[in-house]
Chains A and B, each alone.
Chain A
Amino acid sequence: MTLLWIALLPLLGVLVPALTERHGRNICSLATAVLPAIALVMTLLNVPALLDGEQLSFSVAWMPELALDLAFRLDGLSLLFNLLILGIGLLIILYAHYYLAKDEPFGRFYAFLMLFMASMVGISMSDNLILLWLFWELTSLSSFLLIGYWSHQSDARKGARMALTVTGAGGLALLAGLLLLGDMAGSYSMGDVLASGEMILADPRYPLMLGLVLLGAFTKSAQFPFHFWLPHAMAAPTPVSAYLHSATMVKAGIFLMARLHPAIAGSELWSVVVSLVGIITMLYGAWFALMKTDLKGILAFSTVSHLGLITVLLGIGSPMAILAALFHILNHATFKAALFMSAGIIDHETGTRELKQLGGLKKAMPVTALLTTLAAAAMAGVPLFNGFLSKEMFFTEALATPVLGGLSWLLPALAALGGILSVAYSLRLVHAVFFKPAREAPPKSPHEPPHLMRLPVEILVALCVVVGLFPAFMATGLLELASQAVIGSPLDFHLAIWHGVNLPLIMSLLAFAVGIALYWRHADVRRFTQQFASVDARRVFERIVVAMGYRAEQLIATLEGNSLQRYVGWLWLAALLMGGIGLVQITDLTGAAGNQELDGILLIGAGMLIFGGIATAATHRYRLISLLMLSVVGLFVALTFARFSAPDLALTQLSVEVVTMILLMLALFFLPQKTPPESSPLRNIRDMLLAGSLGLVVASLNYAVMTREMLSISSFFVENSKPGGGGYNVVNVILVDFRGFDTLGEITVLAIAGLAIFKLLNRLRLFIPHSDGEGRVWSPDRYPAILTSVSMTILPLALLVSAFIFLRGHNQPGGGFIAGLITAVALILLYMARGVAWAQERLDFPFQPVAVVGVAVATLTGLGSWLFGHPFLTSAFGYFSLPLIGTFELATALLFDLGVYLAVVGATLMILANLGKVTTAHRPVTEAAEKDADTSAVTPSAKEPR
């Protein structure tokens, strides 16, 4: 359980700065440090158990379907990283307390920092591949926030974006790689994966998986050629650089390679790729570290170089090389964090990081000068410092490895070259800042920082020295645990300063001699390299991003070009292709069931449908005629339903047909009456071809399905309709009972559509035509006398019919949908026959609540079944008898159907009545708009604009 807390505490710590920020920075910093400190102590408390050889792990299922468990482990490797992450993290909090300017939002900074810390601890302790990836992505995101902390600076924004793009893209590759890895191992649990190394190596997908995983690790750890984001991430505040780019973020890639080492290393491919990439990165970084003039730039490139060194060691992969890698991880974290913080102090106290403006600072800042010199000595690998030990081990392993076969001598040679460069840039860093006289004066007059700001540096430098002096005592225990976690078996080793005069020592001495000489002739080297044009990685990156965006826009413009017609065309073309592919795959269009017999009435019906359809399309430029033709189709569709045993559908289609036609007529009044001819003949032919072929495909598909025997699940509904749902009309029982949840969704959509239309009509400026398409003036307010008188008689009848249809719906054709439509039509008839003003007086209530109440009734009916311990929308029914009427049935489904009825009535009236009202004083306007509505909402025009 403590493992879960170690992982959770930093995550909870994200909230602490947010809650304590208003109490001032002192309290906020202290409070922020509490939780990681507890996590650190808890980690340390687990050390005895680890030394006893216990397996520490914690696991609860989180999303078992995705193989994602909340699983953590604490082994030697996690211990090493937890100590680095939490320990250096605490020092960073202290340092940032002094570093950030008075007016900067420190609470936000701490919150980002804690989020980052939490995600790093998560990576270090994850015992599940997918969980590890989640935390991995979280580091990308939180580092984006940290690097871009000074968001007012363009540099910071661009640097953050670049870091996120590179590491985020790597993260996606990693996800693919880890999924493959888990699939190959048959489990996503870290323990299982690490145990199935042989199986993974033998899998044919191994190279692909390795490539993807390494892509993730290399991008994160800034390995060549993905190193370029790291120097640009230096736009971050220095505490961030010190934390992210010394101990944590960039070490995540290294960690991943170490963690998965038992599972995925051990092949020739791994050794060659990883060690080659590492050595290139090492030399590339070291060379640019020597060339940079910005203090943090030097450190950034030297970090790239050291990460390369660790990668080489992991690539070599022998037990001693792993040990050296782990040792160097520890050493690099300490001296590089110290150096970054010193650089931050110098920047803070002098106002610049440019070597040109710095120099001779040893007088003003003697203590900082001493500390920086010691840390730089560790970086250069001077004897008696920790960096010396791991570098000697690196040289030893480089000499011993056969990785490159006959070219293996190349590795120690390049390693020595790296050593030379490292000595040179370390020397330059110290000499140019503290000892060489300044060429220009820095912006601020330098002095020592507050003592507590220097404290983290002092602690880290002390560690560098103590580990360097007493390696066996200080580091053996930790490294034993860590190396055992990676290698799998205990490793027998002895850390010592003096191994006698051997080749690695000679290489070190050579590196010092040549390195010092290189720095001495530094000016010549710089002059030599200045002949070559430098490439600014950021500019290249930005240019690529812009170019990609431009290309994408161009592609979209070519394909679609903001034209709905073209867009729809592509849609239908895609449908045509997919449907066509489906058709090609069936062997025979006519299935076994064959055709039923044809009769004359069917022939006439089909003829009318085809005529109506073609006429609608052919007359589309004369909109009213086209609309009339459309109504012919609608009517015959209703008859088709009736002919083929679907009375419910026929009733629904008929009533919907009426409201649709009223709606479209009303809308047409406000739209141009004719469509101008504008499509070229070629375009018309193209559209006809496309529509025609898709029509053919649809017809063929339809024919193919209908002539085949089909297995339907419907027998269940037919059999259970009466015993389970209490109704004889299976269609209605399906709607209100079996698939009630679908119906609830449908009426919700209907109500939303009604509300959206109400909103669209709100304060609509209309072109009100005063004549029709032929130029005949519209007659104002004359309602046909017959309709006026008949409508009054029809209304009660229609309401009676709708009540009848509603009540019998459960057993006979009918139900809420149809009854609702009939009621709506009856009410609409009033509007049409008598005018809005007349109807408004008598129907003076808004329709929106009716629809909403309908949805609410249906929902509550469904929820009601919870009260009786049944699942949502379980229906109940019983039989009752009343005098005169006789026995009848009451079901909760009826209540649900009432909800449907109300929703349909409300939504339909909301749509039609509101549309009808737009020309009148009753048009929908919000209350605030009502004042000026008279002037703005209606814009009558003398002639119909088109």
Chain B
Amino acid sequence: MELLYAITTGVLTACGLYLTLRGRTFPVVVGLTLLSYAVNLFLFSMGGLTTDGPAIVSEGADVADPLPQALVLTAIVIGFAMTAFVVILAMRARSEVGNDHVDGKKEDRE
């Protein structure tokens, strides 16, 4: 189970990273979102994988580690704020520069 989980995280990371290396803004934003999914999964797994043990007191002795969950919860929300900011920055850049290349140079490279 852990092996499969790790492989999944790795694949998502690799796909996200690949997209961040593209030359246009939108794939980079998508890549960052994908990467943040991977990072959240990674962080979440730092508490170990627990089945049927939500971190709620008195539901049984063996509960999942609540700390990574709390961290990831805020990370998800902040991740959304970051995605929003970057994508709107991309829109603004396109409107100012006239193209959507990540380097933000005036001359069109197409």
Contact = CB atoms under 8 A, between A and B. Distances in A.
Interface in B58-83: 58, 63-67, 69-70, 72-74, 76-83
B8 A647 contact: no
Contacts of B70: 731, 734-735, 739
Given A644-B44, A722-B57, A563 B103 contact: yes
Interface string A667-678: 110111001101
B83 to A, nearest CB: 6
Contacts of B110: 676, 678, 946
Contacts of B25: 671
A582 to B, nearest CB: 14
Interface string A815-857: 0010001000000000000000000000000000000000000
A765 B95 contact: yes
A690 B21 CA distance: 10
Interface string A587-603: 00000000111100011
The SS class assigned to the A binding surface is helix
Given A671-B100, A692-B14, A616 B66 contact: no
A664 B34 CA distance: 13
Nearest to A631: B33
Contacts of A586: none
Contacts of A690: 17, 21
A702 interface: yes
Given A679-B22, A706-B49, A730-B63, A633 B87 contact: no
A641 B54 CA distance: 10
Contact of B69 (A563, A602, A731): A731
Contacts of A694: 13-14, 17
Interface string A793-808: 0000000000000000
Interface string B1-44: 11111111111111111111111111111110110011011101
Interface string B93-107: 011101110110100
A87 interface: no
Interface in A748-770: 749-750, 753-754, 756-757, 760-761, 764-767
Given A637-B41, A735-B74, A565 B23 contact: yes
A631 to B, nearest CB: 10
A279 B91 CA distance: 68
Contact of B54 (A609, A626, A645, A672): A645
A712 B17 contact: no
Contacts of B3: 595, 703
A603 B4 contact: yes
B48 to A, nearest CB: 6
- Tell me which of B13, B18, B47 has the highest count of chain A C-beta atoms within 10 A of its own C-beta: B18
A348 B7 CA distance: 82
Contact of A620 (B30, B48, B96, B105): B30
A669 to B, nearest CB: 10
B4 A562 contact: no
Contacts of A525: none
A743 B77 CA distance: 11
A660 interface: yes
A703 to B, nearest CB: 4
Nearest to B92: A760
A746 interface: yes
A911 interface: yes
A616 B64 contact: no
Nearest to B89: A760
Given A645-B50, A667-B88, A712 B67 contact: yes
A652 to B, nearest CB: 5
User: What class of interface size applies to chain A in its complex with B?
Assistant: 35 or more
B95 A699 contact: no
Contacts of B5: 606, 702, 706
Interface stretch (A65-73, A244-252, A411-419, A713-721): A713-721
Given A613-B11, A637-B40, A645 B26 contact: no
B99 to A, nearest CB: 8
Interface residues of B, number: 90
B73 A617 contact: no
Contacts of A613: 11-12, 14-16, 34
Contacts of A634: 33, 37
Contacts of B95: 764-767
Contacts of A648: 69, 73
A698 B74 contact: no
B51 A706 contact: no
A606 to B, nearest CB: 5
A811 B87 CA distance: 36
A692 B100 CA distance: 26
Contact of A596 (B49, B89, B99): B49
Contacts of A602: 1, 4
A617 B77 contact: no
A412 to B, nearest CB: 68
Nearest to A733: B66
B69 A646 contact: yes
A810 to B, nearest CB: 11
Contacts of B67: 712-714, 717, 734
20 contacts: A562-B105, A568-B21, A596-B51, A603-B4, A609-B8, A616-B15, A617-B31, A637-B41, A645-B52, A660-B80, A664-B33, A698-B13, A699-B13, A700-B6, A702-B6, A705-B46, A710-B46, A717-B67, A749-B81, A757-B84
Given A695-B15, A730-B66, A746-B74, 4 more contacts: A616-B34, A659-B80, A908-B80, A945-B98
Interface of A: 562-565, 568-569, 572, 595-598, 602-603, 606, 609-610, 613-614, 616-617, 620-621, 623, 626-627, 630, 633-634, 637, 640-641, 643-649, 652-653, 656, 659-660, 663-664, 667-668, 670-672, 675-676, 678-679, 687-688, 690-692, 694-696, 698-700, 702-703, 705-707, 710, 712-714, 717-718, 721-722, 728-731, 734-735, 739, 742-743, 746, 749-750, 753-754, 756-757, 760-761, 764-767, 811-813, 817, 821, 904, 907-908, 911, 915, 945-946
